[in-house]
Amino acid sequence: MLLKGNQSYQGEFILLGVADRPRLEMALFAIILICYTMTLLGNTTIIVVSWLDPNLHAPMYFFLSILSFLDLCYTTSLGPHMLVNFWRKSKTITYGGCVVELYISLGLGSTECILLAAMAYDRYAAVCQPLHYTAIMSHSKCIKMAAVSWITGFSNSLVQTVMTLSLPRCGQNQIDHFFCEVPAMIKLACVDTSLNEAELLASSVVILLLPLCLITVSYGYIVAAVLRIRSAESRLKAFNTCASHLIVVSLFYGTAIFIYLQPPSNYSRDRGKMISLFYTFVTTMLNPLIYTLRNKEVHKALRRAVKKN
C-alpha cells in the first residue's frame, strides 16, 4: 500500500538486482553460493582453531578470530536472502527486513573498519615494541579495543540507518541493488538529499579514512623498524607477519572507499552493485585463505587439529 503525500513507503521493497538479465543472475547465484560456502568453512575453521589451540592464544589470533566472526555474520546477514531472491520472480524484502539488513550489515562493516586498525596497532606493538609487547597488548586491552570497534561500528550504523530511512520516498519502493545499502536507498528519496550525502561523507571519513590513516602510520613505523634489522631472514619474517593484514586491508578499504566516498547521485548502476558483491562475498572468502596460506602458526595448528581427530 502506498502512503499519501510525502510519507515514506512502509510495506515492502523490490530489489531489482539484475532481474532484467536472467543469465547473469544465474551466474551470480553460482558465484555467490560458492563464495558464501567457502566463507562459512574458512572463517569457522579459523575461529575454532584459534580458540582450541593454546599456541594461538595471542592478541593477533584473538583479533583474527573476531575478524572471522565479523565476516561470517556479515555475509550471513545478506547472503541467504539474496540467494533465495535469485530464484524468485517477486524479489521483495519487507520494510522491517530492509531495516534489519541495512542496520546489521552496515554495523558489521563499520566494525571491521575499526578492527583492522586495531590489528595494525597490534602488529606495530609486536614489531616496534617487542620487549613491551605483552604489557602493551594485555588481554584486557585487547577486549577493550574489540569492544570499542563494535560500539563505534554499530553507533555509526544506527545514525546512518535512521537518517536514510527517515527520507520521504513518495511511494518509490524499487531499490536498484541486490540488498538494502545506504547509497542505493538514498537514491529513492524524492527530496533534496545533500544533507544526507554530506553526513554520509563525514561518517565515511571517520569510519574509513581515519582508521586507514592510523594503519598507514603504523606500517610506516613497522617498515622503518624492519629496515633496521640486520638479518635478512628476520626482516623477511617480520614482513611476512604483516603482509597478510596489509592484503586484507587493501581489498576491504579499496572497495569500501569506492562505494562510500562518492556522492550517491554519482553512484554507477552496475559498477556499484558489482563492487558491493565483491567486498561482501569475495573479500570475506579470501580473508581466511590469505591468513592461513601465509601463516605458519595457523598451518601447524591445523595439522595438530587434524592429527587429534
In the block, cell 540488498 appears at 179
- Residue 170 zone, left/alpha/beta (φ > 0; ψ -120 to 50; rest): left
DSSP state of 230: -
Domains of the chain: 12-303 (1.20.1070.10)
- Residue 230 zone, left/alpha/beta (φ > 0; ψ -120 to 50; rest): alpha
Taking the C-alpha atoms of residue 119 and residue 142, their distance in angstroms, rounded to an integer, is 10
Please give the pLDDT value at position 247.
83
| SS percent in the chain: helix, strand, coil, step 5 | 75, 5, 20
- Residue 191 zone, left/alpha/beta (φ > 0; ψ -120 to 50; rest): beta
DSSP state of 170: T
CB 180 within 8 Å of CB 229? no
**Closest by CA position to 10, among listed 183, 172, 160:** 172
CA 293 from centre of chain: 20
Taking the C-alpha atoms of residue 49 and residue 305, their distance in angstroms, rounded to an integer, is 7
pTM assigned to the model: 0.86
Q: pLDDT per position in the chain (309 positions), as tens?
A: 333 433 444 578 888 888 788 888 899 999 999 999 999 998 998 898 888 877 778 888 899 899 999 999 999 999 999 999 888 888 889 989 999 999 999 999 999 999 999 999 998 998 888 889 989 999 999 999 999 999 999 999 999 999 998 888 887 888 888 889 888 888 888 888 888 888 888 888 899 899 999 999 998 888 888 888 777 777 777 777 677 778 888 888 888 887 777 665 555 567 778 888 888 898 888 888 877 766 667 767 767 766 766
Taking the C-alpha atoms of residue 71 and residue 73, their distance in angstroms, rounded to an integer, is 5
